[in-house]
Structure 1
Amino acid sequence: MSTPASDGFRMPAEWAPHERTWMAWPGPNPTFEDPDDLADSRAAWASVARAIRRFEPVTVVCGPGQADRSLLGEDIEIVERELDDAWMRDIGPTFLTNGRELAAVDWTFNGWGAQSWARWEHDAKIAAYVSDLAGATKTYASKLVNEGGAIHVDGEGTVLLTETVQLGPERNPGWTKAQVEAEIHAHLGTRKAIWLPRGLTGDYPPNGFGTLGHVDIVAAFARPGVVVAHVQPDPAHPDHEVTQEIVGLLTSQTDARGRRLEVVEVPAPTVLEADGHWADYSYINHYLCNGGVVLCGFDDPRDEIAAGIFRRLFPERTVTLVDARTIFAGGGGIHCVTQQQPKVPVR
């Protein structure tokens, strides 16, 4: 049976040119149970969509009758489909290209490890639906339980993973590290996996909604050989030790081409707690679009420090801060609510 890699497909890096960005629209569900929370979340999602629309087309998948043009505006495309939640990074397809055609991976989705608050009857079908709308010539179904926020690639053969996600019993009981790597490489066109031991403290119970350790809030490639990493400077926060360990691990690693990783540390916002739990506010959960960086903002003194770091990393892009506190209250960030469709051909 053919795989994306054997057919010549790979996942491009996020900084490669995009055709468009896909998002999903918040609807009434356990994540946004309170009507005020739902209204606030829709305003926050719309702010992200409008920030991205300055740089590239945006399509938002909305539940039937749920769209709000007054928030989204007239220049954002809306399509209707039944949804359970609103995290397109995780429920949408992972797009691939062979340089001539678009393809996609449809991972198995089970509500971030079948968590008690999650619903996924409809969301498990969104990847195939979006792949078809995007015009992918082929959609490859993977038996691996995985989400888009649980992977990050450099476009040159390296992928970041987290042991508590792909190897967690909530998702893939009985899978070995070798089996996970084989499935990931076959579907992303990667050759080397760098495993982080875990994610941030706020991403696990009993800290509200979470993913059990997604990598895209902890570390991300900024370009081949360069990784941005979340660091918690305050020893009072449990992520102080967590991020020290992760930074140490990353600095000891080489990528698929044998380059020693350069790690750019990005300090966490100053706030330590949010909604009665350890805050997992992170600037790493940013989104790259054509000519832009959409960066999580927290009305925090370190917002501009982070923006300065990203301006230096991406001098050719415009850095835009968007308040992400409401999105984080729902269990994710700006990267979590977006999914890039690469432009084909990618050169």
Structure 2
Amino acid sequence: MGRPTTRWHMPAEWQTHEQTWMAWPSHGYTLGDTEAEADEARRTWANVARAVAAFEPVTLVVQPRDIHECREYLRNDTAHPIDIVLADLDDAWMRDIGPTFVLGPQGELGGVDWVFNGWGAQAWASWEHDARVAAQVADASGAHHLPSPIVNEGGGLHVDGRGTVLLTETVQLDPGRNPGATKADIEAEVGPLLGVDTFIWLPRGLTRDYDEFGTRGHVDIVATFTEPGRVLLHWQEDESHPDHAVCRELEQVLLAASDSAGRSLQVTRIPAPTALTDEEGPVDWSYVNHLVCNGGVVACVFDDPNDERALQVLREVYPGREIVGVDARPLFDRGGGIHCITQQEPLSA
């Protein structure tokens, strides 16, 4: 099916969802080397799915061999159903391997299928199966399949639903993703698919994200819109952490920017956890990496003294929503957070 000529737009994450999509961890580094590590991964993915299903339906893409195991971890006592779609997988980061859902002028559903190549053809990544997941999920959801020729991931963008998008120069312009591409090239492709005309390019992401298993700067652990004109920014308060300088650089870029309506952005800082390092070096634990659901927010927590401070910020920027924390340390140990393993499908016609 060719791409329709419809003018698409990506709704903001806080607009009403039909459901949230996830994928079940099946093998590789996500499961780890021991049964205890595999159990930890499965329990964490299940905890996120169950937390989201308190607010809206969830559908998981699951390897056929894992369906019974998956059901055991999920249980069957959530307020909204958790359904299963069978497909082969390499990994379980649905934000990046799944479609970016958009709507047409009559409310029709589209699924943007970016080229996925393992976060810039990383040496440790495999993507034979994951490269097909976006098309499979689009088909399962009844969306128009909208293939794009550029390499991109859902974690590499955030929209305000009103014509403005946050991007990162080290992601979309990464030579491992789109060699030789210019900002103009990316904007010409992204603009019509997401319905945006204003592009705010952040120069980089958090420090840890450039290590071996990082994404090279995904925006969804750094900054996100919480309403048109307002951005929530990860804020490292400790001068000994390299992200202390990064966050201040990003804040200046955001404060100098205007959105599609011509407004200067208001920036709300959300503190980073007090934990600064793990055995691999400076952590990129982030409360920015949350999922806004129907009536709620599923947020990362880290058994950290700053958890309650951050949850209070989320209550203030998302008034009227229930804020639920899920321990995200096992996710970040594997390279991402709650937003990274979820992908919202907006309510469509």
Normalised-by-shorter TM-score class:
over 0.9
1:255 aligned onto 2:259? yes
Match of 1:307 in 2: 311
Secondary structure of 1:65's counterpart equals helix
Instruction: Give the AA of the match of 2:165.
Output: V
Secondary structure of 1:234's counterpart equals coil
Match of 1:142 in 2: 148
Secondary structure of 1:296's counterpart equals strand
**Cα drift, residue 251 of structure 1:** 1.1
Match among 71, 74, 80 for residue 72 of structure 1: 74
The CA distance in 2 between the partners of 1:219 and 1:167, in whole Å, is 18
**Cα drift, residue 9 of structure 1:** 1.4
Match of 1:60 in 2: 60
Residues 235 and 269 of structure 2 are in contact (CA less than 8 Å); yes or no, is this contact kept in structure 1? Answer: yes
The CA distance in 2 between the partners of 1:224 and 1:87, in whole Å, is 27
**Cα drift, residue 2 of structure 1:** 8.1
The CA distance in 2 between the partners of 1:187 and 1:130, in whole Å, is 17
Instruction: Give the AA of the match of 1:175.
Output: A
Q: What does the per-residue CA deviation read over 1:107-150, in whole Å, with 9 as the maximum and x for residues that have no partner? A: 000000111111100000000000000011x2111011000000
Q: What does the per-residue CA deviation read over 1:273-329, in whole Å, with 9 as the maximum and x for residues that have no partner? A: 123221000000000000000010000011100100111111211000100000001
Q: What does the per-residue CA deviation read over 1:230-281, in whole Å, with 9 as the maximum and x for residues that have no partner? A: 0111110100001110011111111011011000001100001123221000
Residues 117 and 177 of structure 2 are in contact (CA less than 8 Å); yes or no, is this contact kept in structure 1? Answer: yes
1:82 aligned onto 2:81? no
1:291 aligned onto 2:295? yes
The CA distance in 2 between the partners of 1:133 and 1:21, in whole Å, is 13
Match of 1:155 in 2: 161
Match of 1:102 in 2: 109
The CA distance in 2 between the partners of 1:310 and 1:101, in whole Å, is 31
Instruction: Give the AA of the match of 2:135.
Output: A
Residues 7 and 192 of structure 2 are in contact (CA less than 8 Å); yes or no, is this contact kept in structure 1? Answer: no
1:121 aligned onto 2:128? yes
The CA distance in 2 between the partners of 1:31 and 1:210, in whole Å, is 13
The CA distance in 1 between the partners of 2:38 and 2:250, in whole Å, is 34
1:336 aligned onto 2:335? no
Report the number of matched residues: 341
Alignment CA distance shift 1:255-1:135 (3 Å): same
The CA distance in 2 between the partners of 1:185 and 1:9, in whole Å, is 9
Q: 5+ unaligned residues in a row in structure 1: which ranges?
A: none
Instruction: Give the AA of the match of 1:322.
Output: V
Match among 219, 222, 228 for residue 223 of structure 2: 219
Instruction: Give the AA of the match of 1:132.
Output: D
Match of 2:246 in 1: 242
Instruction: Give the AA of the match of 2:43.
Output: A
The CA distance in 1 between the partners of 2:2 and 2:161, in whole Å, is 21
**Cα drift, residue 66 of structure 1:** 1.2
Secondary structure of 2:125's counterpart equals coil
Instruction: Give the AA of the match of 1:24.
Output: A
Residues 61 and 80 of structure 1 are in contact (CA less than 8 Å); yes or no, is this contact kept in structure 2? Answer: yes
The CA distance in 1 between the partners of 2:314 and 2:30, in whole Å, is 30
Match of 2:19 in 1: 20
Instruction: Give the AA of the match of 2:327.
Output: D
Residues 52 and 294 of structure 1 are in contact (CA less than 8 Å); yes or no, is this contact kept in structure 2? Answer: yes
Residues 167 and 201 of structure 2 are in contact (CA less than 8 Å); yes or no, is this contact kept in structure 1? Answer: yes
Greater mean alpha carbon deviation, residues 304-313 or residues 98-107: 98-107
Match of 2:211 in 1: 205
Secondary structure of 1:294's counterpart equals strand
RMSD (Å), alpha carbons: 1.3
Residues 30 and 118 of structure 1 are in contact (CA less than 8 Å); yes or no, is this contact kept in structure 2? Answer: no
Q: What does the per-residue CA deviation read over 1:206-248, in whole Å, with 9 as the maximum and x for residues that have no partner? A: 4xx2111000000000000000000111110100001110011
Residues 191 and 256 of structure 1 are in contact (CA less than 8 Å); yes or no, is this contact kept in structure 2? Answer: yes
Residues 99 and 138 of structure 2 are in contact (CA less than 8 Å); yes or no, is this contact kept in structure 1? Answer: yes
Secondary structure of 1:131's counterpart equals helix
**Cα drift, residue 37 of structure 1:** 1.9
Divergent runs of 4+, >2 A: 1-4, 30-33
Q: TM-score, normalised by structure 1?
A: 0.96
Instruction: Give the AA of the match of 2:39.
Output: A
1:38 aligned onto 2:1? no
The CA distance in 2 between the partners of 1:100 and 1:186, in whole Å, is 16
The CA distance in 2 between the partners of 1:185 and 1:2, in whole Å, is 18
Alignment CA distance shift 1:31-1:70 (3 Å): closer
Match of 2:196 in 1: 190
Secondary structure of 1:19's counterpart equals strand
Match of 1:316 in 2: 320
**Cα drift, residue 8 of structure 1:** 2.0
Residues 32 and 41 of structure 1 are in contact (CA less than 8 Å); yes or no, is this contact kept in structure 2? Answer: yes
Identity, in percent, stands at 55
